[in-house]
Structure 1
Amino acid sequence: MNGAVSGFRITRFQFARDRTIGDSQVRAEAANVVAVELLDDAGRSGLGFCQSLFTSLPDEAEIIRIFEEEAWPNLVGRSPAALALRVSRPRGGNVRRMTIPFEESLQHAVWDLFAQQSGLPLWKMLGAERDRVGVYASGLDYHLPDHDFSELFGAAAERGFRGFKIKVGHPEVERDLHRLDLLARATGGDRPVMIDANEAWTAQETIEALKLFERAGHRIYWIEDPIPRDDFDGLRMLRTLGIARVNSGEYLDVSGKRKLLEAKACDMLNVHGQVSDVMRAGWLAGEHNVEVTLGNSFLEIGLNMALALPGTRWLEYSFQNFEHLVERPFEIADGTIRAHDEPGHGLKLSRDARERHRQPTLVANAALVVPEAAK
């Protein structure tokens, strides 16, 4: 069974975020994260992360029990290559979510092992010929006070990020306009501006908001998820008007993304997360001549897919305090983010995180602190 998956490690983390993150629909002040490491019988380790955005995770022992029952039987003794490339037949009761959202972390860990066993960086194994891509600053900023909002994006401008995305969809659209004014002052107003409503609007409200912003001198590069994900008629209508590019697909699975593309309802297809699904969605977007954008992925693991998908110009970076969890985060400089050259996806759980930041038992949110390395 040379190279087969033979063991695993689960490490639970729980800590305070360095700011309140969120959008027009949600907010979060704590990070609840599980590192999943799959081990092969040659001693290699593939890493993935899963997180619970809005509720605390159970104790580590319970997480391990759930993993052993729901995930491990489908992994043990299998080749990472077979796990990465298999095509399953979803039917009936096997179409269900795990009790803890391990799905994305398992794809990352499996593909990490597969690439290590192949002796290639994941981005090269996926066919990429470049090692860096443009990166835009995303604030997850809806709940930030104006001062903190301006400080965050002003610092991003100084670091050379190539564009800026803010959260909109406030019940009073004038507040959204105010934030665009603040953004222009903080960044100089000379780089692309994207807005993300997280489905807060109707199609008509979207048109009225975009025209208001345009009259005030704000040119919007793209509008992301302005209306509900399955309102393909509304999205197609917004695309036809051409006021701003329509970026959609974040909340849809691969089947939903296919329907979105077939409806000609987006200018850009937003993908992020699971490696296999991203590559399949990228192939579909290529068939429809639609640009792909890479949204948030944990610690920017999605960089590997962004590099491999032709024509992808953007990766989202949202300043989340996760870097202390890994030995060497991806480097951001001069408006680009660069991949690592070692085999695998490029991230390793740090010894310091395992020893100092592991939190095996549930802690009340009020008692959580921001990790020292992230302050």
Structure 2
Amino acid sequence: MATIATIRTDAYRVPLATVLTDSTHGTMAEFELVTVRITDSDGAEGMGYTYAVNSGAPAFVVLIDQYLAPVIRGRDAGGIERLWHDMWWKVHYSGRGGHATSAISAVDIALWDLAAKRAGLPLWQMFGGFDPRVPVYAGGIDLEFPVEKLLEQADRFQEEGFRAIKMKVGRAVLREDVERVARMREHLGDDFPLMADANMKWSADEAIRAARALAGFGLVWLEEPTIPDDVAGHARIVRDGAVPIATGENLHTLYEFQQMITAGAVTYPEPDVSNCGGMTVFRKVAALAEAHNLPITSHGVHDLTVHLLAAAPNRTYMESHGFSLDAFLAEPMAVVDGYATAPQRPGHGLELDWDALERYRA
């Protein structure tokens, strides 16, 4: 039995190539990356990470180093469910989501990477396998882009291999959102998969009005129309808005997804593996969605999520996010004719350039 020997946590502030904006998070010029490297008693290593924007990622480091690492150090590296359970209860009183669950996520991802490496399997196969080719969309973070820049970005996305695109909505005047979506739809054509993301901008009533105004443009989904806390409001939007609804990037526990799904308040559950509790919880959300005959999508960290969706029979489009680590990866995720393919390398297969990251140490 290999036991957990060391847990190393590092934090970085990574600049974005383009300053990004949405309706609630303001200007985003960088993201805060926290990595975890776990080494077992045989010398094998697994790596996980989480991230934040404008929200104090150093708290993740404190949670991991002072609270989670002591829970798992010296224990069976393969007992991931038990380790997850014990980490959860260690920070439960002050956690139950938020920063605590993001910290657990990074550790959990590292543990699964380590386990798959020891098994000599890529994670998507270790999770049972379904299809390594996963449909992927480009997640634009472009609320303040002038329309011409928005359309130019859409052209670039297609040149990069994407065959589905998401744009931001949630401007101060709904008419402007409608006009921008109309221009995108005209530019892309009637059958091109197009999503829109409001980033929780509206009340439920405002979201219903917006959804009805956008219903004629054939959106695959309208994402995060209101705050994640308003489950009843989401159910009304699904019922009355005439557009499928995606939500979940701000749901941080399995139980929050259970409430949203059983209330009929979401069409496309959308967990983020870096904040929902890691791969352990993401897989349970995917199974919960499948049990309710719902497709599963994702938020962010596409280089990790591709393994999870490659193992999920109810998967749909995976987001390729603007907060990308491509500049620091030995083999960034390739998109070919609308699909990403899960790596065949053991574990998640990510190799970070630690020397290049060092200049951005927080």
Q: TM-score range by the shorter chain?
A: 0.7 to 0.9
Could you say what secondary structure the match of 1:155 adopts?
helix
Change (3 A) 1:162 1:113: same
What amino acid sits opposite 2:283 in the alignment?
Answer: M
- Counterpart residue number, 1:371: none
- Counterpart residue number, 2:257: 257
C-alpha displacement at 1:242, in angstroms? 6.1
- Counterpart residue number, 1:79: 76
1:324 corresponds, among 322, 327, 341, to 327
Q: Which has the larger Rg?
A: 1
Say whether the 8 Å CA contact 1:37–1:46 is kept in structure 2: yes
Could you say what secondary structure the match of 1:301 adopts?
helix
Could you say what secondary structure the match of 1:293 adopts?
coil
What amino acid sits opposite 2:285 in the alignment?
Answer: A
The answer as to 2:295 corresponding to 1:311 is no
- Counterpart residue number, 1:370: none
Could you say what secondary structure the match of 1:235 adopts?
helix
Could you say what secondary structure the match of 1:272 adopts?
coil
What amino acid sits opposite 1:76 in the alignment?
Answer: R
What amino acid sits opposite 1:193 in the alignment?
Answer: L
- Counterpart residue number, 2:12: 13
CA separation in 1, counterparts of 2:45 and 2:343? 17
How is 1:86-165 mapped onto 2 (pairs within 5 angstroms)? 86=83, 88=85, 94-97=92-95, 101-165=102-166
After the TM superposition, which parts of structure 1 deviate over 6 Å for at least 4 consecutive aligned residues?
Answer: 62-66
CA separation in 2, counterparts of 1:23 and 1:65? 29
Deviations 1:255-312 (A, max 9, x none): 111111221222221122110111111121122222211221x252011111112121
Deviations 1:299-343 (A, max 9, x none): 520111111121212100123342122221222111000111111
- Counterpart residue number, 1:285: 289
CA separation in 1, counterparts of 2:106 and 2:63? 14
Change (3 A) 1:133 1:92: closer
Say whether the 8 Å CA contact 2:67–2:90 is kept in structure 1: no
CA separation in 2, counterparts of 1:56 and 1:234? 29
Could you say what secondary structure the match of 1:190 adopts?
coil
How is 1:48-67 mapped onto 2 (pairs within 5 angstroms)? 48-55=48-55, 67=64
Could you say what secondary structure the match of 2:270 adopts?
strand
Change (3 A) 1:52 1:261: closer
Aligned residue pairs: how many?
352
Deviations 1:212-237 (A, max 9, x none): 334xx522221112122232333222
C-alpha displacement at 1:155, in angstroms? 0.8
Deviations 1:146-171 (A, max 9, x none): 34322222111233423211111112
What amino acid sits opposite 1:268 in the alignment?
Answer: Y
Taking structure 2 as the reference length, the TM-score comes to: 0.87
Please list every run of 5 or more consecutive structure 2 residues that lacks an aligned counterpart in the other structure: none
Could you say what secondary structure the match of 1:80 adopts?
coil
Change (3 A) 1:322 1:265: same
Say whether the 8 Å CA contact 1:83–1:110 is kept in structure 2: yes
**Range 144-153 or range 13-22, more displaced:** 144-153
Change (3 A) 1:254 1:67: closer
What amino acid sits opposite 1:83 in the alignment?
Answer: I
Change (3 A) 1:361 1:166: closer
Please list every run of 5 or more consecutive structure 1 residues that lacks an aligned counterpart in the other structure: 363-375
Percent of aligned positions that are identical: 25
CA separation in 2, counterparts of 1:40 and 1:308? 26
CA separation in 1, counterparts of 2:120 and 2:358? 30
Could you say what secondary structure the match of 1:211 adopts?
helix
CA separation in 2, counterparts of 1:39 and 1:157? 40
C-alpha displacement at 1:101, in angstroms? 4.6
| Aligned-residue RMSD, C-alpha | 2.6
CA separation in 1, counterparts of 2:235 and 2:102? 32
- Counterpart residue number, 1:173: 174
Could you say what secondary structure the match of 1:35 adopts?
strand
Taking structure 1 as the reference length, the TM-score comes to: 0.85
CA separation in 1, counterparts of 2:100 and 2:239? 41
2:298 corresponds, among 294, 299, 304, to 294
CA separation in 2, counterparts of 1:129 and 1:228? 33
Say whether the 8 Å CA contact 1:162–1:192 is kept in structure 2: yes
**Range 87-96 or range 34-43, more displaced:** 87-96
Say whether the 8 Å CA contact 2:211–2:241 is kept in structure 1: no
Change (3 A) 1:39 1:127: same
**Range 115-124 or range 14-23, more displaced:** 14-23
What amino acid sits opposite 1:200 in the alignment?
Answer: K
Say whether the 8 Å CA contact 1:47–1:349 is kept in structure 2: no
C-alpha displacement at 1:132, in angstroms? 1.2
What amino acid sits opposite 1:246 in the alignment?
Answer: I
**Range 192-201 or range 230-239, more displaced:** 230-239
Could you say what secondary structure the match of 2:125 adopts?
helix
- Counterpart residue number, 1:226: 225
CA separation in 1, counterparts of 2:183 and 2:356? 39
